[in-house]
């Protein structure tokens, strides 16, 4: 049989396959340039950009825990001006859609970043980070409070003509009302999940392992949580959903697709194997062949009843 | 910074040899032709250990102790789950190696005498440097006790002048390696030197102070907890002087911008520009 079709679309972003790399796990396009053929990726999401350069948290910023990683980088980034000047030119050369994750401490900061990026060339979409657990102001507060979520999505929507993806937090009682609010406020797509708030303690020193005390858990430990939330979000909205959380190999991504995700993002595993996302693409293709499917869209949302 | 990082690779390397080095340390030699060929002293590799509990995801960074022909050698101490898994590897086992990573030590400028200062297994990358530096110099090795002094006979075999210090006095001078260095400097004040150091932060910080005092260039190799090893995750950052803005600092990634920094660049904990 012929090679199955892997093309998918998220808003106006056309992707040659449904696999992107998640924010904060793949740099700015140059760090892995000699190790990875970027053109084989569906898209890449750049680490959270804010209005001003941001130093993030002091080290230790990372802890390895069973089944995952705990991080509190604290959104260190060069600021929107530094990003467009120093990093965007190389990203434009990658030949794949570049999605910029953005965040702010206030509504005005979110708006200002979106406005500045509207003027820049070579950006396919924005991913609105309303779910970072590691900064003191803003961040996750925007993603867990329905009224704040609506305001920030609406505000950014007014500033951008690009595909707007809203990245939701997992630590909410119910995901469906927040998913609906983001959709009604103008989001073109949702991505979920961000890291899960968590903590580790060094039993010898009895101190938190991270300088920030708490951090965000990523990796395979959170994958089933993400599958459940993607499954529920897909049922709540019409817009596409991007599944993120603990993908290690193709089967994890396929689970998201079956749950209804139109695309997936590969994150933590990139640190172990920068070519993991490419292996996921190949694995999805093999799965489609094996199951006699000619188009990945046949898989999306194909989950059956219990 | 002073070296490019454009020729990395990931390859499946075969364990050729595991050797013990005293009671606490081991040497692992891997057949890793593409990395061995490209590696320079001061660079490191990121290993994915097959025997490691799969619940632990990250690769483990190790500085290169040697690179000869198609082989690389790593000197390590069994300190945690990663190094325990490493110690269980046997000849013929396969390990995914990413590297060579980091900037490495800059070459010795003409007319200078190299001084190497190693604390414990910090001597590992210094041996690689000594092997690749035609100009012989002086090596200062320090540790808590005799078993922490590694490779002294190897440095001697290369023709280097070796001085040793232990905190418990079980070998060489009793005391800190930096005290021994200071004494040596007093006796050789007219000799133009460049220093290369690797070891615990306390030692590096003392070396940095001496370097300023003596007006000498000192290249320090830092060890930090790492995630990706490629400059992406921003876990292993240290504060350095911002070269573009006097009096202010910025983060540098030890894995990508380092692990080697000139001593004056680094702002140690509690130190702000």
Residue numbers in A near B96 (CB within 8 A): 273
* Strands annotated E in chain B: 9-21, 25-31, 44-48, 60-63, 66-68, 71-77, 94-101, 113-119, 138-143, 161-166, 173-174, 193-198, 217-221, 237-241, 249-253, 260-262
Tokens found for residue B56: 């632990």
Nearest CA in chain B to A220: B55
CA distance A146 to chain B (A): 30
DSSP letter at B19?
E
Nearest to B58 by CA among B237, B259, B235, B252: B235
CB contact under 8 A, A69 and B227: yes
Residue B273, pLDDT above cutoff 50:
no
Phi and psi dihedrals of A125, rounded to 5? Answer: -165, 170
Q: What integer pLDDT is reported at residue B270 of this predicted model? A: 66
Q: Three-state SS for B141?
A: strand
- pLDDT above 70 covers what percent of chain B? 96
DSSP letter at B42?
T
Residue B2, pLDDT above cutoff 50:
no
Q: Which residue has the tokens 């002094």?
A: B149
- What is the DSSP secondary-structure string of chain A? -PPPB--EEETTEEESSSEEEPTTSSTTSSTTTTT--GGGSSEEEEEEE-SS-B--PPSP-EEEETTEEEE-----B-HHHHIIIIIHHHHHTTSS-EEEEE--SSHHHHHHHHHHHHTSSS--EEEEE---TT-SSSTHHHHHSHHHHHHHHHHHHHH--SEEEEE--S-SS-SHHHHHHHHHTT-SEEEE--PEEEE-EETTTTEESSTTSEEEEESGGGHHHHHHHHHHHHHH-SS-EEEES---SHHHHHHHHHHT-SEEEE-THHHH-TTHHHHHHHHHHHHHHHTT-SBGGGTTT-PPP-
Containing H/E element for B132?
helix B123-132
Phi and psi dihedrals of B202, rounded to 5? Answer: -60, -45
Could you give the angle at which helices A223-236 and A176-184 cross, rounded to 10 degrees?
A: 50
Residue among A25, A69, A219 minimizing CB distance to B232: A25
Residue numbers in B near A48 (CB within 8 A): none
How far, in Å, CA of A284 to CA of A254, rounded? 7
CB contact under 8 A, A59 and B235: yes
Residue B37, pLDDT above cutoff 70:
yes
How far, in Å, CA of B208 to CA of B85, rounded? 35
With a cut of 70, list the residues of chain A below it in pLDDT: 1, 132-139
CA distance A177 to chain B (A): 32
Identify the bridge partners of residue A8 per DSSP, sorted by sequence position: A15
* Contact status, residue A164 vs residue A124, Cβ threshold 8 Å: no
The pairing of beta strand B161-166 with beta strand B138-143: parallel
CB contact under 8 A, B57 and A271: yes
* Contact status, residue B144 vs residue B202, Cβ threshold 8 Å: no
User: What value does the mean pLDDT of chain B take?
Assistant: 94
Residue among B7, B224, B227 minimizing CB distance to A271: B227
Residue numbers in B near A71 (CB within 8 A): 227, 233, 235
- For B210-267, how does the pLDDT look when each residue is reduced to its tens digit (9 = 90+)? 999 999 999 999 999 999 999 999 999 999 999 888 889 999 999 999 999 999 999 9
Which residue in B231, B235, B273 has the most chain A C-beta atoms within 10 A of its own C-beta, making it the best mutation to test that interface? B235
Tokens found for residue A72: 């509190």
Distances (CA, A) of B244 to B231, B241, B248, B249, B250: 21, 9, 9, 10, 10
CA distance A237 to chain B (A): 32
If contacts are CB pairs under 8 Å, which of residues 217-276 in chain A contact chain B?
A: 219-220, 268-275
Catalytic-role residue among A132, A169, A172, A226: A132
How far, in Å, CA of A182 to CA of A184, rounded? 6
Name the pLDDT band for B6 (thresholds 50, 70, 90). Answer: low
Active site residue A169: no
Q: Is A279 on the interface with B (CB under 8 A)?
A: no
Residue among B57, B96, B256 minimizing CB distance to A219: B57
How far, in Å, CA of B251 to CA of A178, rounded? 36
CA distance B273 to chain A (A): 15
Q: Three-state SS for B156?
A: helix
Distances (CA, A) of A103 to A15, A27, A79, B232, B236: 24, 16, 10, 19, 23
Q: What integer pLDDT is reported at residue B131 of this predicted model? A: 96
Q: Is A197 on the interface with B (CB under 8 A)?
A: no
Q: Kindly report the number of other CB atoms within 10 A of residue A203's CB atom.
A: 7
How far, in Å, CA of B186 to CA of A102, rounded? 56
Residue among B9, B53, B230 minimizing CB distance to A32: B230
Q: Kindly report the number of other CB atoms within 10 A of residue A285's CB atom.
A: 17
Q: Kindly report the number of other CB atoms within 10 A of residue B212's CB atom.
A: 11
How far, in Å, CA of A73 to CA of A237, rounded? 32
Q: Is A71 on the interface with B (CB under 8 A)?
A: yes
Give the torsion sign (CA, B229, B233, B239, B241).
positive
- For B43-101, how does the pLDDT look when each residue is reduced to its tens digit (9 = 90+)? 999 999 998 888 999 999 999 999 999 999 999 998 888 899 999 999 999 999 999 99
């Amino acid at each position: 049989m012929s090679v199955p079709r892997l093309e998918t679309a998220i808003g106006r972003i056309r992707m040659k396959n449904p696999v992107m790399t998640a924010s904060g796990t793949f740099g700015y396009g140059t760090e892995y340039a000699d190790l990875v053929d970027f053109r084989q990726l569906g898209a890449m999401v750049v680490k959270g950009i804010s209005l001003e350069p941001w130093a993030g948290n002091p080290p230790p910023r990372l802890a390895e825990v069973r089944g995952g990683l705990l991080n509190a980088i604290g959104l260190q980034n060069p600021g929107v001006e530094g990003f467009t000047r120093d990093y965007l030119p190389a990203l434009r050369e990658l030949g794949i859609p570049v999605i910029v994750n953005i965040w702010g401490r206030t509504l005005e900061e979110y708006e200002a970043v979106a406005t500045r990026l509207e003027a820049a060339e070579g950006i396919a979409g924005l991913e609105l980070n309303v779910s970072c657990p590691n900064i003191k102001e803003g961040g996750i507060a925007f993603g867990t409070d329905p009224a704040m979520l609506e305001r920030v999505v609406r505000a950014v929507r007014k500033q951008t003509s690009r595909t707007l993806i809203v990245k939701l937090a997992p630590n909410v009682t119910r995901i469906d009302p927040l998913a609906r609010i983001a959709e009604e406020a103008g989001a073109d797509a949702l991505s979920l999940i961000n890291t899960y708030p968590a903590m580790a303690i060094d039993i010898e020193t009895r101190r938190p392992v991270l300088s920030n005390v708490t951090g965000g858990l990523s990796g395979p430990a959170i994958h089933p949580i993400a599958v459940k939330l993607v499954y529920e979000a897909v049922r709540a909205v019409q817009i596409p959903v991007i599944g993120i959380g603990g993908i290690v190999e193709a089967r994890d991504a396929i689970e998201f697709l079956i749950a209804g995700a139109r695309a997936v993002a590969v994150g933590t595993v990139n640190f172990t194997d920068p070519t993991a996302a490419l292996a996921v693409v190949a694995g999805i293709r093999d799965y489609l062949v094996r199951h006699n499917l000619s188009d990945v869209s046949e898989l999306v949302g194909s989950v059956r009843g219990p | 910074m002073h070296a490019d990082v454009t020729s990395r690779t990931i390859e499946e390397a075969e364990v050729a040899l595991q050797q013990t080095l005293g009671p606490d340390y081991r040497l692992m030699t891997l057949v890793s032709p593409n990395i061995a060929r490209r590696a320079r002293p001061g660079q490191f590799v990121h290993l994915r250990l097959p025997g490691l509990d799969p619940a632990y995801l990250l690769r483990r960074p190790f500085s290169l102790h040697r690179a000869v022909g198609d082989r690389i050698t790593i000197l390590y101490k069994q300190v945690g789950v990663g190094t325990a898994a490493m110690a269980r590897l046997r000849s013929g086992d396969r390990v995914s190696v990413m590297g060579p990573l980091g900037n490495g030590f800059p070459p010795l400028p003409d007319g200078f005498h190299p001084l190497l200062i190693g604390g414990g297994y910090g001597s590992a990358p210094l041996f690689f440097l000594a092997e690749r530096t035609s100009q012989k110099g002086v090596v200062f090795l320090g540790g808590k006790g005799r078993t922490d002094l590694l490779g002294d006979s190897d440095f001697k075999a290369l023709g280097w002048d070796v001085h040793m210090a232990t905190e418990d006095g079980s070998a060489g001078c009793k005391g800190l390696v930096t005290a021994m260095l200071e004494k040596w400097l007093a006796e050789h004040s007219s000799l133009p030197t460049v220093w290369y150091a690797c070891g615990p932060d306390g030692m590096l910080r003392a070396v940095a102070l001496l370097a300023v005092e003596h007006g000498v260039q000192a290249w320090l190799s830092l060890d930090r907890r790492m995630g990706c090893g490629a400059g992406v995750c921003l876990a292993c950052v240290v504060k350095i002087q911002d070269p573009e803005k006097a009096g202010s600092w910025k983060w540098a990634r030890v894995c990508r911008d380092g692990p080697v920094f000139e001593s004056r660049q680094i702002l140690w904990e509690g130190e702000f520009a």
